[in-house]
Structure 1
Amino acid sequence: MNDSNGLRTGPTRGLRARTDAIYARSAVDGETATECRVQVREALEFVGAPARAAVYTDPGASGLDANRPALRRLLADVRLGGLRRVVVRDLARLARSAPLLETILGELRAAGVELVTIGEWNRHA
């Protein structure tokens, strides 16, 4: 399934066992779709097995908003199980407020899902 920006989106049903999830978000005016594509490309390079990665993107979404469509799908899939890890460029992609970030991290921990930030990896790759 593709989103309006042509990026493959994460499936809510039929996740393969222990799939990697990639989450990208940008709220920068005029650059949201391009920035999300760059984040996804970087994460796919890190994952190394794009066919096994579910991609979730929220272009044009504020990191302060907990009701982002792709974030809601990602967290629903976390609760369903089947995700091995979530890969993001940096923590600010998930949330721009400490309480929201802690809520998201708590859900990942409770489900046994690893969070990987690749900002440092990407700069040194």
Structure 2
Amino acid sequence: MSRTVPLNARERRALDGIEAGLSRDASLRRRLRLIGLRARAQRLGRAPALRPGPHLLVLLPVSLFLLVAGITTSAAGFIWAFAGCWLLTGITLLRLLSRTLRGPDRRFPPRPFV
């Protein structure tokens, strides 16, 4: 059984000051929003969705093409092109996985892939 005790004016001002300070804290708001999003995803029984960008949708087929071309022709140019493209694809996949595990942050949009 909980009892509510009215606050006097001094306590009310102190509480209002604390609440104002917490409402200005951007990192706290972001953390609380992420906690809410993760809790909602757990309630719904699903993980956050993977949303690959267009650069990843281009890099994966190009990497596969260069892999097949490098294997069939054994040309050094295809092999080096595959190595560079696969490195970019791996970095992009790691960023996507990291962003998915960390959760969305609408305040800081993802940087464009260079």
Q: Does the alignment reach a TM-score above 0.5?
A: no
User: Which structure has the larger Rg over C-alpha atoms?
Assistant: 2
What's the TM-score bracket when you normalise by the shorter of the two chains? under 0.3
